[in-house]
């Protein structure tokens, strides 16, 4: 039981880093970015290529994956996404699904369809005893990194000038512009950070989740479930939803292997019947 809880916690942490960028763009910017998983895949492949072809250490690959996908997200936001903010949500869905299919086809063509292998450094391999159970060192590392990210993100949103400007831009962009806030820049930076977090999640999760060109399609539903269950107006909601779904998914596959992922869908339905807008929501968010 403790091993399942620990593995579910590590899995949930990965889901949070992968999905929190979508929570930002969907909840705080009101933009349905289903291409979010493509940024995660890009972070994973950047890590694989840097380690396999250039010999870059794994720990250096993590910030590089974040920065590279953040820059790519900023470029796409300024050139493509910005023109869709005022369009209906159906346009968002169709456009970003098209980007996903293009990304899958491009990766498959240039890098092949085979599963990619991440070779972890020796310090992150093996297992140790914690509270009487044997746990993987890499999963402990993932939990520590993701836990630190939760604290940093929540602190930025709650206690910094940028966080207050973002909340103001979300609640009423017109009034925020009247107060002198550059809403376009705030949204561009927010989108870039969300994309970078997806890339970081892809780099961290490649060893646990696996990595191939279909990655954005396989995990798209998981990102949406996390955001739907947790709510789209805070970091706390998706974080708790990720932990809940991660533990439920691991436990369901262990105890009820024939039902597989049905457990998390049942959990999602139950939560939404109880709280239709997710676990956490904030009044005034658009």
Q: Read off the pLDDT of residues 104-123 as tens digits, 9 standing for 90 and up.
A: 999 999 999 999 988 888 88
Using a 10 angstrom Cβ sphere, with 0-12 exposed, 13-18 middle and 19 or more buried, the burial of residue 121 is exposed
Per-residue pLDDT band at 233 (split at 50, 70, 90):
low
Q: Read off the pLDDT of residues 132-163 as tens digits, 9 standing for 90 and up.
A: 777 889 989 998 998 898 888 888 888 888 88
Cα gap 201→195, rounded to integer Å: 10
Cα gap 65→46, rounded to integer Å: 6
**Residue keyed to tokens 């991440």:** 118
**Could you count the other beta carbons within 10 Å of the beta carbon of residue 86?**
7
**Residue keyed to tokens 């550059």:** 182
CA of 108: how far to CAs of 7, 103, 113, in Å?
A: 30, 8, 5
Using a 10 angstrom Cβ sphere, with 0-12 exposed, 13-18 middle and 19 or more buried, the burial of residue 273 is exposed
Which two structure tokens, joined as six digits, stand for 126? 């093996």
Per-residue pLDDT band at 280 (split at 50, 70, 90):
low
Cα gap 72→46, rounded to integer Å: 12
pLDDT of residue 247 exceeding 80: yes
pTM of the model: 0.89
Q: Read off the pLDDT of residues 21-31 as tens digits, 9 standing for 90 and up.
A: 787 777 667 78
């Amino acid at each position: 039981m403790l091993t399942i809880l620990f593995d579910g916690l590590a899995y949930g942490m990965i889901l949070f880093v992968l999905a929190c960028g979508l929570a930002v763009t969907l909840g705080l910017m009101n933009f349905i970015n289903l291409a979010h998983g493509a940024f995660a895949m890009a972070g994973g492949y950047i890590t694989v290529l840097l380690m396999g072809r250039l010999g870059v250490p794994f720990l250096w690959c993590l910030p590089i994956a974040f920065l590279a996908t953040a820059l790519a997200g900023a470029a796409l936001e300024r050139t493509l996404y910005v023109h869709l903010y005022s369009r209906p949500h159906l346009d968002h869905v169709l456009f970003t699904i098209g980007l996903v299919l293009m990304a899958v086809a491009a990766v498959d063509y240039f890098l092949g369809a085979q599963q990619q292998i991440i070779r972890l450094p020796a310090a992150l391999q093996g297992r140790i005893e914690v509270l009487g159970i044997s746990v993987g060192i890499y999963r402990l590392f993932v939990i520590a990194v993701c836990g630190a990210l939760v604290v940093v993100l929540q602190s930025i949103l709650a206690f910094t000038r940028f966080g207050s400007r973002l909340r103001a831009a979300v609640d009423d962009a017109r009034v925020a512009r009247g107060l002198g806030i550059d809403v376009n820049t705030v949204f561009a930076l927010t989108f870039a950070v969300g994309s970078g977090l997806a890339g970081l999640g892809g780099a961290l999760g490649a060893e646990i989740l696996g990595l191939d060109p279909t990655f954005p399609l396989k995990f798209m539903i998981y990102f949406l479930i996390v955001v739907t269950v947790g709510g789209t107006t805070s970091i706390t909601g998706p974080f708790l939803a990720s932990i809940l779904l991660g533990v439920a998914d691991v436990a369901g596959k262990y105890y009820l292997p024939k039902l597989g992922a049905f457990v998390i869908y049942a959990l999602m339905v139950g939560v939404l019947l109880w709280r239709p807008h997710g676990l956490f929501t904030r009044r005034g968010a658009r």
